[in-house]
Amino acid sequence: MDFVVIVKKGVQELDNRALTEMLEKLWRRHCRQVRAS
């Protein structure tokens, strides 16, 4: 499975930790949705 992430303005100002946390949150959301279906 491939993922495409489209970001809003200001994402270039995030540090690696903040970006990783955001991506982990999106991944957990995806996993919950898959389990629910």
Per-residue pLDDT tens for 5-33? 888 888 788 899 998 998 999 999 999 99
Sign of the dihedral defined by the CA atoms of residues 2, 10, 16, 24, in that order: negative
Query: Whose structure tokens read 């930790």?
Result: 17
Q: 10's torsion region: left (phi>0), alpha (psi -120 to 50) or beta? A: left
pTM of the model: 0.67
